[in-house]
Structure 1
Amino acid sequence: MSAHEAVEGLKRLGLSSYEAQVFVALQRVGTGTASDVSRASDVPRSQVYGAADTLAERGLVEVVEGSPKRYRPVSLDTARRQLRERIDREEERAFDHLAALQGEDAEDAEDGVATVQGRHALDDRIAALVDSATDRVMLVAWAADHLSTAIEEALRERATAGVTAVVVTESEALADRLADSAVQVVVAPSNPSDGVTGRTLLVDDATVLLSVLSEADDPDDPTETGLWTAHSDIGHILAQFIHAGMMYGVESERGWADSETSFDF
């Protein structure tokens, strides 16, 4: 990693440009005066003092008193811990303020069609939508890693509560994971969606989520993008089409299996 990349990374962790440059320069010189740090960086000597003192307040730099004053960095393990603790504090403070600002009806105000980007964000949204089911929920999740722990727990809880829960997958491992639950699993011998590897969720009669995977950026770590809608006119329309398509697919795939098995969906 170049010095520039190190500086940019430290800036993303909350340091100012001068602070980041001073800290990186101190990794080179070890212990040095403001003049030493200035020569090892692009920071003017007059600006080194303030940046180094701020770093000292943050526990990232030690000040060696003398004439002239010298500075030395703490160990990288200590710096990592200090920065992580600071980020954790700022995160907690920010979200406490956000929670205080959030209206009681904020969740109920969700309408229209929303886009969600990223596997983790979609996992959280799917789990929340499953948790809201009062009648039925069907999830198409072809791969085992499409079912996060939070989604699995939500499906198990809803199924135990009497909600009809069906998972369609081609993963035997996923079926084994849910074998001890009230969730009904349909194991399809192949993905009938012609290469579409995203997820489809239907909750009750008006909540729909659709996602697709894109390997354009990194085939080994594809990104997932989804859209969802709940209790909207388009949600009602999509729900009818998706429900019909899902059930047709389930019945078609079950042609090779036990035709006596039925799903109350």
Structure 2
Amino acid sequence: MKDLSNQQQAIELLQQLGLKEYEAGCFVALARLPKGTAKEISETSDVPRTRVYDAIRVLETKGLVEIQHSNPQQFRAVPIEEAAETLRQEYETRTDTLVEAMDNIEPAIPDGDEEITHEVWALSGTTAITNRTQQLIDAAGREIILIVGRDEVIDDGLVEQLQEALDTGLDVLVGTQTEELREQIAKALPDAEVFVSGLEWLHSSPLEANDDTTISRLLLIDKNTILVSSVHETDTGGIETEKAVFGRGFDNGIVVIARRLMATGLLPADDPDMLADK
């Protein structure tokens, strides 16, 4: 049952990466065989034999299958690591082409010269929120303040990005919920200001005893751009989809509120102007 589940999962993932159902089925079948004829592939994959040849032809074109022109013909899959790299490169090429095409599309309504600063936008999904976090950090010009509510937010990619920001002369302040995480980040980013935050409300609401919502990350860029994400913890200890709100502009209400909340209890009392409005 587990093998069947893994096989079906592999086929579904290959389809998500651009292969059609029969192509994915044939590739997975060949990955289970040292080599195979069209008849053997069909028997292993349940792909109709009449459709195997068309699927194999596509897989060969993509560099995923090798052919031995014997009688009958024999086929074998390339090593899985090689196949994964080939698919990755094709996927990246497609996304690069998409970005180029989208950039060249004429806007239906020309953008105004003035940025609207009172709007707040919502994002869902950890991947999307992580990508937006990275984008905002890349765009920082002076200061990055990141308050970590969940340890999972900190990964090697984020640490590397923050180090790059430090190398360019930006101020980087990172707040954690535990001393243990503070020590880990301080070791990885010795030039950053790393501290244990005093924001207890990141993990619970003082007004709602049964509130299982945790602030996952709170990011303030140059005092005028804010991203706040949260997760809801389930009874089994897992989390539901991460959600975030994002706002830009020094006079944006959510930015003002977040900036002032972050100024309370984050840094030592002898440095009260670190986050003060300017």
TM-score normalised by the chain length of structure 1: 0.69
Pairing partner for 1:122 from 125, 129, 132: 129
Provide closer, same or farther for how the CA distance between residues 197 and 30 of structure 1 changes in structure 2, counting only shifts above 3 A: same
Kindly indicate whether residue 255 of structure 2 is the aligned counterpart of residue 239 of structure 1. yes
Kindly indicate whether residue 217 of structure 2 is the aligned counterpart of residue 199 of structure 1. yes
Structure 2 counterpart of 1:89: 93
Provide closer, same or farther for how the CA distance between residues 108 and 75 of structure 1 changes in structure 2, counting only shifts above 3 A: farther
Going by fraction, where is helix more abundant, 1 or 2? 1
Kindly indicate whether residue 229 of structure 2 is the aligned counterpart of residue 211 of structure 1. yes
1:227 to partner: Cα distance: 0.8
Structure 1 counterpart of 2:245: 227
Larger radius of gyration: 1
After TM superposition, the structure 1 = structure 2 runs for residues 148-163 of structure 1, keeping only pairs within 5 Å, are 148-149=158-159, 150-151=161-162, 153-154=164-165, 157=168, 159=170
The one-letter code sitting in structure 1 at the alignment partner of 2:61 is E
Q: In the comparison of the two structures, how many residue pairs are matched?
A: 251
State the Cα deviation string for residues 104-141 of structure 1 (Å, max 9, x = none). 96998676322233445434434544565678765433
Pairing partner for 2:49 from 45, 56, 59: 45
Q: Secondary structure at the match of 2:28?
A: helix
The one-letter code sitting in structure 2 at the alignment partner of 1:216 is T
State the Cα deviation string for residues 72-100 of structure 1 (Å, max 9, x = none). 33333443343333333333333333344
The one-letter code sitting in structure 2 at the alignment partner of 1:95 is V
C-alpha distance in 2 between matches for 1:73 and 1:168: 49
- Asked whether the equivalents of residues 144 and 170 of structure 2 are also in contact (C-alpha less than 8 Å), the reply is no
C-alpha distance in 2 between matches for 1:116 and 1:166: 24
C-alpha distance in 2 between matches for 1:66 and 1:176: 60
- Asked whether the equivalents of residues 30 and 41 of structure 2 are also in contact (C-alpha less than 8 Å), the reply is yes
After TM superposition, the structure 1 = structure 2 runs for residues 96-107 of structure 1, keeping only pairs within 5 Å, are 96-101=100-105
C-alpha distance in 2 between matches for 1:5 and 1:212: 29
Q: Secondary structure at the match of 2:22?
A: helix
State the Cα deviation string for residues 144-196 of structure 1 (Å, max 9, x = none). 66462324544775745xxxx75544443245666635x5x553467354543
Q: Secondary structure at the match of 2:45?
A: coil
Provide closer, same or farther for how the CA distance between residues 153 and 141 of structure 1 changes in structure 2, counting only shifts above 3 A: farther
Unpaired runs of at least 5, structure 1? none
Provide closer, same or farther for how the CA distance between residues 217 and 70 of structure 1 changes in structure 2, counting only shifts above 3 A: farther
Unpaired runs of at least 5, structure 2? 205-213
Residue identity (%): 27
Range with bigger deviation, 97-106 or 115-124: 97-106
The one-letter code sitting in structure 1 at the alignment partner of 2:249 is H
1:17 to partner: Cα distance: 1.1
Structure 1 counterpart of 2:273: 263
1:228 to partner: Cα distance: 0.7
* CA-based RMSD: 4.1
Q: Secondary structure at the match of 2:53?
A: helix
C-alpha distance in 2 between matches for 1:16 and 1:200: 41
1:229 to partner: Cα distance: 1.4
Provide closer, same or farther for how the CA distance between residues 240 and 41 of structure 1 changes in structure 2, counting only shifts above 3 A: closer
C-alpha distance in 2 between matches for 1:120 and 1:81: 21
Structure 2 counterpart of 1:180: 191
TM-score normalised by the chain length of structure 2: 0.66
- Asked whether the equivalents of residues 130 and 155 of structure 1 are also in contact (C-alpha less than 8 Å), the reply is no
1:34 to partner: Cα distance: 2.6
- Asked whether the equivalents of residues 175 and 187 of structure 1 are also in contact (C-alpha less than 8 Å), the reply is no
- Asked whether the equivalents of residues 139 and 202 of structure 1 are also in contact (C-alpha less than 8 Å), the reply is yes
Provide closer, same or farther for how the CA distance between residues 106 and 244 of structure 1 changes in structure 2, counting only shifts above 3 A: same
- Asked whether the equivalents of residues 150 and 216 of structure 2 are also in contact (C-alpha less than 8 Å), the reply is no
